[in-house]
Amino acid sequence: MDAISKFVSDNESLFHSELCEMLRFKSISADPTCFDECVKMADWLVAHFLNMGIRAETFDVPGKHPVVFAQTPRILDAPTLLIYGHYDVQPVDTGTSEGEKTNGTADAEVSEKSWRTDPFEPVFKDGLLYARGASDDKGPVFAHIAAAKYWMQAESRPQINVKFFLEGDEEGGNEEVRQFVRDHTDLLSCDYLVLSDTAQFAPGQPSLSCGLRGLAAYELTIHGPNRDLHSGTFGGAVTNPCNALVNLLSALVDEDGRVLVPGFYDEVARLSPEEARQLQILPFDESSFYANLGVASGVGEKDFSVYERLRTRPTFDIHGISAGYQGEGSKTVIPSEASAKFSFRLVPHQSPEKITESLRARLASLLPPGVRMTLDVHSEAKGVAIDTSLPCMKAAARAVEYGFGRSPLFVREGGAVPIVTTFKEALTPNIMLLALSLQTDNIHGPNEHFTMADFYRGIKTAAKLWQELAALDLL
Amino acid sequence: MDAISKFVSDNESLFHSELCEMLRFKSISADPTCFDECVKMADWLVAHFLNMGIRAETFDVPGKHPVVFAQTPRILDAPTLLIYGHYDVQPVDTGTSEGEKTNGTADAEVSEKSWRTDPFEPVFKDGLLYARGASDDKGPVFAHIAAAKYWMQAESRPQINVKFFLEGDEEGGNEEVRQFVRDHTDLLSCDYLVLSDTAQFAPGQPSLSCGLRGLAAYELTIHGPNRDLHSGTFGGAVTNPCNALVNLLSALVDEDGRVLVPGFYDEVARLSPEEARQLQILPFDESSFYANLGVASGVGEKDFSVYERLRTRPTFDIHGISAGYQGEGSKTVIPSEASAKFSFRLVPHQSPEKITESLRARLASLLPPGVRMTLDVHSEAKGVAIDTSLPCMKAAARAVEYGFGRSPLFVREGGAVPIVTTFKEALTPNIMLLALSLQTDNIHGPNEHFTMADFYRGIKTAAKLWQELAALDLL
């Protein structure tokens, strides 16, 4: 066993308990009451870096949570790797009433609708560590931090300059953090950038990303009468904001899930023959994909395979609707207003700004008389394409092979990491998206978990990556 | 001043304080935690009748709140009047977050979105009594109870047999109470029936109803994947229950509010020339109707006036939608399920059962792959037409002229009182809907209130009605 593997193996229980410490912080960025917990999380990270002999500090981001910046001892004439991650997590609720759903039964399907344990008290069971943020993104982030411990402790210093940039607003819209990046290109300057905020292709099949979907996320509110009304007295002559909302939303998409916003598909290119060929050979089983979700099939664009729809096509999804009476029994009210959160997933080359403009015009043209609308933009991020022939991608592939014992697949991601667009524009095109999580980790949902074997493999991969990248420039 | 007017005038403050006692009971039928308050409300009513020398008791209704039955001392060869009302009230929430809506401002429009005072601690201000249930239906119910005091105390006994039948489930679906009526036709047998659960045509313009809309109310739930999913990882290939819900709901109605359920309009008759003529002469001002609601206009069937739409046409309104993430900020989730409460207002001759069947078939035919649906029926009530030439209607008109100093208009109601259908089928066609409330009382909304001058006019009218109906049979 070589030095890296031995070190990781010897320190598994330490890394496990340090990760648990990190998971106990309730750093929900979308929840204003968790602001202090986010600050404490950032301070904990700074202290952790300082303990390893790595210079670290926080920077305030106006209106947002602090970012953590850390930097290993400076080596002249060595390249610089920036490691990015986020310490904030998703809210814990599932959008459904736990009491209604669990209903005294205990079957797997139903229990997946709610947390079985405290989301902020990690529980290790059957090789999995359960906690909010375990997989997205504290576990993967800590794999890179643990790699730093190898280099600082076992090797006394790395052969490469390494910077850490960890933010606390990835889950809730981080435009201000992206502006911080644009405003601090000296501080963050780098030759390579790595992040682990994506999922492996399959268990035991690690992957590196060659593309990310973008995101355009909104909240639409329909404002109607100046108070809630009795539908018996007023129904038939008053525009009901709920009715208007469902009509507007349903006019955004056809029955196959094709988006009806004018110009939406204009910038979407067909896949290159090479990429189409790669997609064909990826071992993706549609029936087990659906079986895992407890459904027989799903709606989607007719001319594309399920895997193509998930990774290479834009989408429209409603995330939540809040309107009128939601209590027990029935209440025949015309609510004063109604709102919905929804988003488009975008693919490379689509412009979120143009889509927002076209969306706004379409909604306005369809808005019935008697109501007003407000459209808030929560997020606008372009999709990203990454060149798999870059030397750093080959270095990352070697690191993965070392850590996982298997070559990575190059895949497109379905999710968005909006800040990657900013990194590409402001810092470097040499961006490696190194997947450590699994798609089945239930990120954003209840009972999020992380496979601890992958955590340790991830630490080895991350540590090896520093060496591989340092060697690159020497070639 | 004659005896009735003098008695009411002398006892105004007593009646005011007794009504306040009644309003303090939190008898929300839709809220299971209020069950005991409903029982206490029923017991208070029984005690109140007993105090007046009127025999009274409660009857249990399986799975529902007790009904109150009371009966004045029996007179042979005199007709019987049944007085119906409900002691339960609507929930108090408005379906919107109070914190968000009031937002520190104090203008009238915004403040109408939330309660300014405790809904269960009546507040008298500028002639109005504010409390949940003040207008719907405790105030009007208590006007009839106060009339009983006149006859039992000032006249020592009425010249007519009077029964009270007061239920506690009108707001939440009272099929069991309607079954109780069918099962107790001997107990409830009557020659005439009066209820006050409708609104006057306008302030100072009392009215009697010649029609009621019916109601078919539902809750539709779309069940999708077995857990909430990340829209980046799964979007594009999974049927999103939110998307499916808005598509189904929007397919139930066209842009003019015309319902798209097959057969929906089959039983809807055009108005008779006489009724159409009556509608023309009713003094209804469309622009002030909309101005009062803070909107410029409203969606509705093109070939009908606003007033016709409100009173003579069926409708479709969504009352609440509950789905996915509704918290602060953004969460890009595909929720596991989504549900909506909605209803059709029906006009006389439409069959709610046939409509439910056709609705279910239409929804099933439109349901996309990858989701299941549940359609719960919350209410099914036919509309009712009442003959204005009935002798009791003329008697009621005289009583209104006595109490209000003005003849009533005969109008159709927009709202449903489902139990009236049952009364007509099981007890008597001689049903008088005597309006005491106003359309502007904000029933079912925040700051519900009742005009106390109408309360006292209503007591006089109710007391006079007993005399007018007793005289009828003597003719």
- For residues A62 and A176, give the distance between their C-alpha atoms in angstroms, rounded to a whole number: 7
Q: Is the pLDDT of residue B105 over 50?
A: no
DSSP state of A92: S
The whole-angstrom distance between B120's CA and the closest CA on chain A is 19
Between B339 and A109, name the one with better pLDDT: B339
Interface test with B, best of A198, A221, A228, A306 (most B CBs within 10 A): A228
CB-nearest to B217 from A32, A330, A369 is: A330
Q: What is the reported pLDDT for A473? A: 64
Chain A interface test: which of B136, B219, B289, B330 (most A C-beta within 10 Å): B330
| Residue A463 reports pLDDT greater than 50 | yes
Percentage of the residues of chain A whose pLDDT score is greater than 90: 78
Dist. CA A108–CA B125, nearest whole Å: 56
CB-CB under 8 Å, B29 with A378: no
Task: Compute the average pLDDT of residues A241-264.
Answer: 97
CA angle B250, B256, B257 (to 5 degrees): 55
Whether B1 has a pLDDT exceeding 90, the answer reads no
Residues of A in contact with B171 (CB under 8 A): 331
Position A88 scores a pLDDT of: 98
Q: Nearest C-alpha of chain A: how many angstroms from B9?
A: 32
Q: How far apart are CA A323 and CA B3, in angstroms?
A: 52
Q: Are B417 and B213 in contact (CB under 8 A)?
A: no
Distance CA A351, CA A341 (A): 20
Mean pLDDT score, A43-56: 98
CA B67 to each of CA A6, B35, B165, B192, B379: distance values in angstroms, whole numbers, following the listed order: 78, 13, 7, 20, 19
How confident is the model at residue B473, as a pLDDT? 65
Asked if the Cβ–Cβ distance from B227 to A297 is below 8 Å, we say no
Distance CA B475, CA B472 (A): 5
pLDDT for position A105: 27
- Report pLDDT for B230: 87
d(CA A454, CA A146): 13
Q: Is residue A98 over pLDDT 60?
A: no
* Displacement of CA B62 from its chain's centroid (Å): 22
By C-alpha distance, the chain B residue nearest A234 is B310
**Is A320's CB within 8 Å of B315's CB?**
no
Q: Which residues of A touch B313 (CB under 8 A)?
A: 236
* pLDDT at residue B340 in the model: 97
Cβ-defined contact of A298 to B334 (cutoff 8 Å) = no
- Report the C-alpha gap between A260 and A263 in whole angstroms: 9
Residues of B in contact with A416 (CB under 8 A): 232
- Whether B242 and A173 lie within 8 Å, measured CB to CB: no
User: Which residues in chain A touch residue B322, judged by CB atoms under 8 angstroms apart?
Assistant: 321-322, 326
Tell if the CB–CB gap between B237 and A306 is shorter than 8 Å: yes
Count the helices and strands in chain A (H runs, E runs). Answer: 17, 18
The pLDDT of residue B112 is: 59
Which of A266-280, A428-442, B46-60, B297-311 bottoms out in mean pLDDT, i.e. has the lowest?
A266-280
Q: Which of B77-91, B180-194, B264-278 has the lowest mean pLDDT?
A: B264-278
A182-191 burial string, b = 16+ CB within 10 Å, else e? eebeeebebb
**Confidence at residue A297, expressed as pLDDT on a 0 to 100 scale:** 95
pLDDT (average), residues B312-340: 92
Q: Mutate which of A137, A315, A346, A347 to disrupt the B interface (most B C-beta within 10 Å)? A: A315
Per-residue pLDDT tens digits for A304-337: 999 999 999 999 999 999 999 888 877 889 999 9
Cβ-Cβ contacts under 8 Å between A and B: the total is 410
As a whole number, the mean pLDDT across chain A is 91
Nearest-neighbour CA in chain A from B59: distance (Å):
23
Residue A315: list chain B partners with CB under 8 A.
Answer: 231, 235-236
Search chain B and give the residue with CA nearest A299.
Answer: B239
Q: Mapping DSSP to helix (H, G, I), strand (E, B) and coil, where does residue A111 land? A: helix
The candidate with the shortest Cα–Cα distance to B339, out of B373, B302, B296, is: B373
Is B297 close to A369, i.e. CB distance below 8 A? yes
The 8-class DSSP code of residue B253 comes to: B
Q: Which of B234, B311, B365 to mutate to test the interface with A (most CBs of A within 10 A)?
A: B234
Provide the 3-class DSSP secondary structure of residue B219.
strand
- Partner residue facing B335 (CB), from A95, A219, A338: A95
Beta bridge partners of A177: none
Nearest one of A344, A349, A346, A397 to A209, comparing CA atoms? A397
User: pLDDT at position B327, please?
Assistant: 85
- Name chain B contacts of A217, Cβ cutoff 8 Å: 330, 332
Express each pLDDT in B387-410 by its tens digit.
Answer: 888 999 999 999 999 999 999 998
pLDDT tens, B144-181?
Answer: 999 999 999 999 899 999 999 999 999 877 889 999 99
Residue B338 to chain A, least CA–CA distance (Å):
8
Q: Exposed/middle/buried for B305, CB within 10 Å: 0-12, 13-18, 19+?
A: middle
Q: Which of B229, B293, B311, B384 is most worth mutating to test chain A (most A CB atoms within 10 A of its CB)? A: B293
Q: How far apart are CA B405 and CA B384, in angstroms?
A: 28
CB-based contact A415:A311 (threshold 8 Å): no
Nearest alpha-carbon partner for A409 in A207, A209, A197, A212: A207
